Every structure is written in structure tokens, then in C-alpha cells.
Copies of this chain bind each other. A is one copy, B any other.
Amino acid sequence: MKTVNIGLLGFGTVGAGVVDGLRRNGNLIAARLGVRPVIYRIADLDTTRDRGVPVEKGVLVSDAAGVIDDPNTQVVVELIGGTGAARACILSALKQGKPVVTANKALLAEHGAEIFGAANASGTDIYFGASVGGGIPIIRALREGLAGNRIERILGILNGTCNYILTRMEADGLPFEAALAEAQDKGYAEADPGLDIDGHDTAHKAAILASLAHGMIVPLDAVRVEGIRGLAKLDIRYAADLGYRIKLLAVVKRAGGALDVRVHPALVPLHHVLASVSGVFNAVMVRGDLAGDTLYYGRGAGREPTASTVIGDVVDIVRNLVSASPGRVPVVTTGPAEVVRDFSTRYYLRMTLSDRPRVLAQAADVLGRHGISIASAIQKEGPDDGFVPVVMLTHEADETACAAALREIDAMDVVGAPTVRLRIEG
């Protein structure tokens, strides 16, 4: 049987998973494909550490450029990560007309235009299924399965660390810090968890999904990002009382010719499928004008799920090599997207109001003057400090109007603490 030579760059957790997966399922993949993808070279600065998978002598080397340039390397799999060496490696491979598979979300979110441009210029393939959603074939669904649809909306739970923390906070009543510490203990969160809990990892993925869905490069700095750091147990409990569950969501919506792309915690109705996504699982709900809502769910990270998607991309590229059809599914973009600064949604507001007559009416009056109408309001019991928590759910309102109203409300002397504002989606 014919073989196709893979040059693997980066021999970390996922790299070892790819080597192991190709070994374990090699015969199965070869039967499906008619050719056998083989690990020809692996480049990693560390050529001595045991990764727990057998590697033949001479395969593991330290020189990535040598692997890329080697005429026997037919496919380059980039699993180095980051935006430095990885970028140079990918661009070099693409310029040589060698197809590339990558899982590098930061690189694509920050340098997508350059990378996609290089692939298109040389008529070569770049596949990046594992950059979003780990083992979930969501990139493929957007690029291919839903190709007949205008994409109206994407809602994604795209960070397993955050979803794990939120699940533990809701299901077991842990405070944020304890849930985070537990996620770190279990290896779900990094020692420096900022990339996850401050929403930046989700923002990278949101930018990639938005770019693909709409054929326009979404500049990362145009994405509004709020994470879950410091989210109060109290709000998770009040949300549950009202029939909602809080999730860190990536939101992508069409807004005329522009896009509404944002990442923030949001209340999702309990009966919504996204609310049933718990623990480290990820899910993406895509609304197409023809397909309606479709949802894709699975493990968003981890050695084997990520390797599954990387290998799926390798299979695709090998098919393109075999059938001499490189560049079969190009990433088509018409340039940078305009991302709106304002948007409209429903809000959950928790105000801390003085426990005196007419205070609630005062706050409601401010909202009303900013065009925000209240769908429901509940005064909760509070600590005996003269203030009570008041929770309001609003009808749809503009983000800027809501921010202005809250600035005004929080400046009132009957307000004991800044108002907590969460959006409602789904």
C-alpha cells in the first residue's frame, strides 16, 4: 500500500496522541483511505523525553525547518503552539506547497489573514479542525456540511476549564476560587489560568468560527471579551431560581453587513440544550437559515479528542494528495469584518439597594429613561446591613443604553455595591 509521509512539529501531549492514534488505528485508516499515513519525522527541541509512545530511531529530531524542507515530507502537522516558531513553520511549509494541519487557535485568530492567504497563494491546504472544539468536528461542519446556509447565529461553550468551574459552582455550591483550584488540581486549568477564565481562549475560537461562517477575517481586538473570574455563587443561585444556568458563551450574530462577536458569561434557559452541557464538555450551536439550529457536542480538549480531529484533517489532506485536488476547500475571505460595538440582548441585573421605600422605583425609573423595560423583578432577602439584593430580568435592550443606565444607578447614594450585569442568550 502506498504511504504518505507526515512531518510532525511539536511532540507534546497532542503530538504523542497523534502518533499513538495513527499507530493504533493505522490499519483501519489505511483501509478507509486506500493509502497509509505514516509519521516520517517528528521535530521537537526535546529529543530525549519518553512520551510513552514508540518512535523508531531517527524519526525524532530537533530541527523543525529540516523536517519541513525535507523533500520526503508530504504533510506538515504543526502542534508547537504559540505565534512565534509555529507561524514561521506554517508559512514556510505553505510556501513550499506542502499542506498543513494545525490546532493553533491563537495563531489563526491573530494571523489568520496571513496564513490563509499563504495557503491560497500556493493553492495548498490548511486544515485546522482541532483549533476549535477539540474532538468535535465543528470546523468541518461550518466549512462543508452547512455550506448551503447563511449562518445567522453561533452560540458556543468553547472552554472546558470555564465550563468545569461553572458546573462545580452550580452543582456543588463551590465558590469560584475553590472551583478554580480544583480545576487546577485536576489538570484542567493552567497554573496561570488567565487565558481560560478571562475569556481569551474562547475569544480566539469565536474569531475563528466567525471568520469561517462569514468569510471575513474577524480582528481579535474587535471581539468584546469578559471572562468568569470572580463570578459570584449568589448569581449562579439566583439564575437557577429563575430557570437559567450561567455559561461562558461565545456569541456570533449577523448585524446587517457587520458582525456581533463577543465572549461573556450568559444566562441560558435550563431547557435549552446548551444548558445541559456540563463539566469539561464543549458544544457549539449553529443557526443556519436552512438547517435551523444544529448542535455539536463533545470533548473540547485533551490528548485523544484533539488527536482525533488532527488525524481527521490528515485524512482529508491525504485524500486531496491522492486525488491531486489540493486547495479543494479554500478558506475564502473577502477581507476584515466590521464588528459592531453595540448590540441588543436581554439582561440579568442584580442591584444592591438600600432597604427603604421607593428605592426600587427610583432604579426602575432610571432604566425606563434609558429605554430598558423590566420583564420581572424579585427582591431577595439580604444580609442585615440595610441593603437588599434586587434581581431584574429585562426585555431586550441596547448594550450601551444598559451601561449608561447602570452608571447612573450605581452613582445613586441608595446603591450599596456596583450592580452585577449578565446577559441572557439562547
- A302-337 near B? 1/0 per residue, CB < 8 Å: 101101111110111001100111011100101000
Q: Evaluate whether A311 and B295 lie within 8 angstroms (CB atoms) in the complex, with A316-B144, A325-B325 already known.
A: no
Type the 1/0 row for A130-164, where 1 means its CB is closer than 8 Å to any CB of B: 00000111001100111111100000000000000
* A273–B297 touching, CB < 8 Å: yes
How many A residues face the partner with a CB closer than 8 A? 66
CB of A101 to closest CB in B, whole Å: 12
CB of A142, distance to nearest CB on chain B (Å) = 10
Would you list which residues of chain A between 59 and 114 have a CB under 8 Å from chain B?
Answer: none
What is the interface of chain A mostly: helix, strand, loop, or mixed? mixed
The answer to whether the Cβ of A32 comes within 8 Å of any Cβ in the partner chain is yes
A29's contact among B33, B147, B312, by CB below 8 Å, is which?
A: B147
Please tell me how many copies of the chain the complex holds: 2
Contact of A308 among B32, B149, B302 (CB under 8 A): B149
Q: Select from chain B the residue with minimum beta-carbon distance to A21.
A: B290
**B-side contacts of A24, CB under 8 Å:** 150, 289
- What B residues does A146 contact at CB under 8 A? 137, 308, 312
Q: Which residue from B149, B276, B289 sits with its C-beta under 8 Å from A273?
A: B276
Interface centre among A34, A283, A293, A294 (most CB of B within 10 A): A294
Interface 0/1 of A26-62, CB less than 8 Å to B: 0011011110000000000000000000000000000
CB neighbours (8 Å) of A401 from chain B are none
- 6 A-B residue pairs with Cβ-Cβ distance under 8 Å, sorted by A, are A28-B150, A32-B147, A276-B276, A291-B305, A296-B297, A319-B329
